[in-house]
Amino acid sequence: MSGLLDGRRLLITGVISESSIAYAVARLAQEQGARVVLTAYGRPSLVRRVARRLPHEAPVVDLDVTDEEQLASLAERVGSHLDGLDGVLHAVAHAPASCLDGGFLAAPWPDVAGTFHTSAYSLKALAVACRPLLRPGSAVVGLDFDASRAWPGYDWMGVAKAGLEACARYLARDLGPAGVRVNLVAAGPLRTLAARAIGGDGAGFEQDWAARAPLGWDPADTEPAARACLALLSDWFPATTGEIVHVDGGHHVMGA
């Protein structure tokens, strides 16, 4: 994999701690020759501290993916650090507590709407905001969790992930003529801040997943999912778009 991303310029969202998939993507991307810019929401000083732990300190731009003004200025702000983009990682998702952990029937519409806005619609919003910087051969990659099943505790986030998957297909259709690929990576359960709601009791869910996955599964290891993201952000999949790549130890192929 040496030099897989040589010369490529990436915008990476969702870096909040060293345990995040997005951090692993940023680290590996730099090791593979990419130039990286990170985004920060809510706690920019924290993201800047994490950015200093990368092999090369990455610049950080503020971004709330639900803020139209910030989206409108994103290309200009990223452009002050990079002269274009070859890839964008969408690693953004959020649901209020009311939408998780058994709240499916009771969650109010404003909370559900916010979940969709942040976790699904934002893929389109981010891609459009970055479009002035994207060149033919570039890639948009989003982080997913298998939306084909109803998972314990996931509730409206699971529905939002189904929306994310549909959004990626339509983006692939509409950005394809410009030479931009759009794909998702559906990772198994990982011990990240974003994944704490999946599976209810956590440990039991992870153990069941590892037992059922043909390749096994380590919920503490974000690198397999990050490597898949890197491959899709590289130029090694020039004719693949609208795809969901499962990085889950093979769990999704197993019957009940």
> In the annotation, is 124 catalytic?
no
Q: How far apart are CA 93 and CA 236, in angstroms?
A: 27
Catalytic residue among 41, 121, 154, 170, which? Answer: 154
To which H or E segment does residue 136 belong?
Answer: strand 134-144
> In the annotation, is 161 catalytic?
yes
Spatial CB neighbours of 73, under 8 Å, sequence gap ≥ 6: none
**What are the distances in angstroms from CA 121 to CA 90, 124, 184?**
11, 6, 14
Catalytic residue among 23, 41, 161, 170, which? Answer: 161
Nearest to 158 by CA among 213, 104, 218, 205: 104
Q: How far apart are CA 151 and CA 164, in angstroms?
A: 16
Show which residues are catalytic.
154, 161
